[in-house]
Amino acid sequence: TTRLIIDTDTAGDDCFSLLLGLLHPKAKLEAVTICNGNVDFDQQVENALHTIEVTGRGGEVPVYLGSARPLMGRWQAASFHGSNGMSERQFEPAKQRPESKHAIDAIIDLVMANPGEISIIAQAPLTNIALAFLKEPKIAKALKHLWIMGGTDHAFGNITPMAEFNFFVDPEAAKIVLGAGFNITLSTWTLTLKSGSFDAATVDAIEKLDTPLSRFYMQVTETPRRVAFERYGETISTHPDSLTCAMAIDESLILESAAVVVDVEVGGDLSRGHSSVYPARLVERWPDRDANARIVRTADTKGFANMMMSVLA
Ligand code: BDR
Ligand code: CA
């Protein structure tokens, strides 16, 4: 069993990562922590609580509120998932309420009480993870595994040409986290486009499941599917966050990966938030640089789709 904390700016695909964490038999979701990112902070909290409730498990997983703003960046909503992050669908307010403990303390307490046991899926800007590390640096070694959805493998971003959204919103936090000594796997936007997107046939198959969760899927992904079509000229449903969670639950979904030296550009007019990725085996002439992450280059799209379908069914 993989014991998970999911740190999320809940909107769009963030929801399906939560569903995998909540419902997959090999996962145990211990906590959900909310970070600034996709849409208005309070809206993200409601989206997370609603997603938990949709599974019928309302009240079973605590939700903690984290940083409502990035360290230094200017926060701006992503338009990708609609203004409420849920393709404009309105849902009844959830009955569960968030905990009063701050997300940063929740992360520290859970990780330090269970050394080597807990993994984090970081699928939002890295503000909460950076602040938790700054408050208690021992979490870097006590955490089993930090799965980061962020950055690109080479420049083709989704918010600027050179940057992916999560790293762009809080590059300083990303830089702190990547340099902190965690056991990191990086799941990039480049990987999302290559291996983490469902084609029209898969989306059809999900619609045909015709379960409450498949209907929830069709509703929440409506705007992102339309935006993806406008941008990329194909019917695809992109799953950056849920692919990351799926790989954490079942590492055999990782088909190709490499040890890399990765850092984040915090300056630069055009390059702020850009992830610099270099193969660890070529790094000997770069002083004081060592491998600090494993990057995933190819994942098993079919296996991932099967996992998602089994959970939505
Ligand atoms: C990431 O940015 C957000 O919009 C998504 O939730 C995902 O975490 C993809 O770049
Ligand atoms: Ca996200």
Question: How many angstroms separate the CA atoms of 250 and 119, rounded?
Answer: 13
Ligand 1 pocket check for 152: Cβ under 6 Å: no
Radius of gyration of the chain (CA): 18
CA of 81 to the centre of ligand 1 (A): 10
Q: Cα–Cα distance between 240 and 22 in angstroms, integer?
A: 17
pLDDT at 78: 87
Q: Does any ligand 1 atom lie closer than 6 A to the CB of residue 198?
A: no
Q: Is the CB of 14 under 6 A from ligand 1?
A: yes
Of 265, 258, 266, whose CA–CA distance to 291 is shortest? 258
CA 256, distance to chain mean position in Å, is 20
Helix (H) or strand (E) holding 277: strand 275-279
Determine if ligand 1 sits within 6 Å of the CB of residue 4.
Answer: no
Which positions of the chain have pLDDT values less than 50? Answer: none
- Which residue in the block uniquely carries the two structure tokens 């609609």? 82
ipTM: 0.98
Beta-ladder partners of 162? none
Place of tokens 């984040």: 264
- Give the pLDDT confidence score for residue 283 in this predicted structure: 84
Cβ of 149 closer than 6 Å to ligand 1, yes or no, is yes
For 164, the token pair is 């992916």
- How far apart are alpha carbons 245 and 203 in whole angstroms? 19
- The burial class, CB within 10 Å (0-12 / 13-18 / 19+), for 23 is middle
pLDDT at 76: 83
The preferred substitution site among 35, 83, 149, 167 for testing ligand 1, maximizing ligand atoms within 8 Å of CB, is: 149
pLDDT given for residue 75 in this prediction: 86
* pLDDT at res. 116: 98
Question: Does the CB atom of residue 78 touch ligand 1 within 6 A?
Answer: yes
- Of all protein residues, the one whose alpha carbon is nearest to atom 10 of ligand 1 is 165
